[in-house]
Amino acid sequence: MAKRQVTLDEVAERAGVSRSAASRAINNAPNVSRVKREAVQRAVEALGYVPNATARALATQQVGSVVLAISGEDPALLADPFFAEVVVGISSVLEETDLELVLSLATSERGQARLAQRLRTRQADGVMLMSLRENDPLAALAHQADVPVVFGGRPLGFEPSYYVDADNRCGGRAATEHLVATGRTRIATITGRLDEGAGTARYQGFQDALAVAGLDASRIVQGDFAEDGGAQAMGELLARWPDLDGVFVASDQMAIGALRVLREAGRSVPDDVAVVGFNDISAARHTVPPLTTVHQPIQALGREMARMLLAVLAGEQPSPLILPTRLVVRASS
């Protein structure tokens, strides 16, 4: 540990050139002669020189990292397969660049404060913000941020310049239409959090479809996207509308909880009650019965967020992106 760092000066000396020449050679700037470039090359190898990123960052005013901030009070949020997939997408893009990914769970007060500071002091070159709540303090931060911000999902209450979202409304509609098309008439929904864009959009899709079909859209219980919440919501639904024959659940995680409750209540799926989820997480294929759900390209969401941020960083002005969703019919409906 704590070996002394080999500095650029040492390389320069060894190569018998000036420090600036060495610097140019290393960052392969154009104005360096062949011989010097090669001399520097050799010196670098010989000395095992590796540039100090911090110093470089200080000099260039570029940090070399971007942060992914996830809002929400529960640190376990990240364990949600949805976010995990998003992270995979993001890091697959970032791996091709020299940027690194800083994970910022802005759950505690402290976490929020830290994030705020980072955003204001350009301690990151860019920020990706996910799953903002309505009136989320992070939104304010984003506005005064010193660095580009890309949103994952459209936040409620304002339209950011850069975001990538899935077509949640359309997906919710497709899911519900499917229930209608398969003959269900007493259709309920377990919504996601209605203070998040994805939650409201999916719910709107639900309303859209039932309005067109002329069906009653009042069977609704609000959930929270998580499994236990889904179970609880299903219980409530069953208690209030025991005659329901179809339910659109705004996330697969909740749908898994709902399936459990339905089973415990002795309702057969899909015979008594058809269930359609949302997200198409990998677990959806293995529920019993396998879950009909709305597929959204989660990894792609992450990838596109990262790409968009890169584009902004490169001085471009990419336009917002809406990724398509599509219904995947399995046995639960």
Partner DNA sequence: GTGAAAGCGCTAACAA
Partner DNA sequence: TTGTTAGCGCTTTCAC
Count of positions (residues) in the chain: 333
Binding of its own copies by 20 (CB under 8 A): no
Binding of its own copies by 314 (CB under 8 A): no
Smallest gap from residue 288 Cβ to its own copies (A): 4
37 or 219, CB closer to DNA? 37
Among 29, 35, 46, 88, binds its own copies (CB under 8 A): 88
Are 307 and 268 contacting, i.e. CB atoms less than 8 angstroms apart?
no
Binding of its own copies by 27 (CB under 8 A): no
Give me the sign of the Cα torsion angle 16, 17, 23, 27. Answer: negative
108's contact among its own copies, DNA, none, with CB below 5 to 8 A by partner kind, is its own copies
Smallest gap from residue 65 Cβ to its own copies (A): 7
Structure tokens that stand for 156 in this block: 């409620």
Binding of its own copies by 222 (CB under 8 A): no
19's contact among its own copies, DNA, none, with CB below 5 to 8 A by partner kind, is DNA
Smallest gap from residue 204 Cβ to its own copies (A): 29
18's contact among its own copies, DNA, none, with CB below 5 to 8 A by partner kind, is DNA
Please compute, for residue 149, the number of CA atoms within 13 A of its CA located in the half-sphere on the CB side.
27
| Whole-angstrom distance, CA of residue 292 vs CA of residue 296 | 13
Among 21, 39, 40, 85, binds its own copies (CB under 8 A): 85
Residues between 33 and 72 with contacts to its own copies, criterion CB under 8 A = 50-55, 57-58, 63, 65
The partner residues of 151 in beta bridges, in order of sequence, read: 129, 163
Binding of its own copies by 96 (CB under 8 A): yes
Q: Is 297 helix (H, G, I), strand (E, B) or coil?
A: coil
Binding of its own copies by 23 (CB under 8 A): no
Total of chain residues touching its own copies, rule CB under 8 A: 61
How far does Cα 208 stand from its chain's mean position?
26
Among 20, 27, 33, 117, binds its own copies (CB under 8 A): 117
Please compute, for residue 244, the number of CA atoms within 13 A of its CA located in the half-sphere on the CB side.
29
Binding piece for its own copies, criterion CB under 8 A, among 20-28, 35-43, 88-96, 157-165: 88-96
Interacting residues with DNA (CB under 7 A): 5, 7-9, 17-21, 23-24, 26-27, 30-33, 35-36, 49, 51-52, 55-56, 58-61
Smallest gap from residue 93 Cβ to its own copies (A): 10
Give the helix ranges, DSSP H, for the chain: 8-15, 19-26, 34-47, 53-60, 81-94, 109-120, 137-144, 168-181, 197-213, 227-240, 252-264, 298-313
**Complete DSSP assignment for 256-285:** HHHHHHHHHTT--TTTT-EEEEEE--GGGG
Written as one letter, the residue type at 126 is G
Q: Which of 88, 19, 31, 82 is nearest to 55 (CA)?
A: 19
Smallest gap from residue 115 Cβ to its own copies (A): 10
Give me the sign of the Cα torsion angle 224, 226, 228, 230. Answer: positive
Residues that bind its own copies (CB under 8 A): 1-3, 5, 50-55, 57-58, 63, 65, 75-81, 83-85, 87-88, 91-92, 95-96, 98, 100-105, 107-108, 110-111, 114, 117-118, 120-123, 145-148, 227, 256, 260, 282-283, 286-288, 299
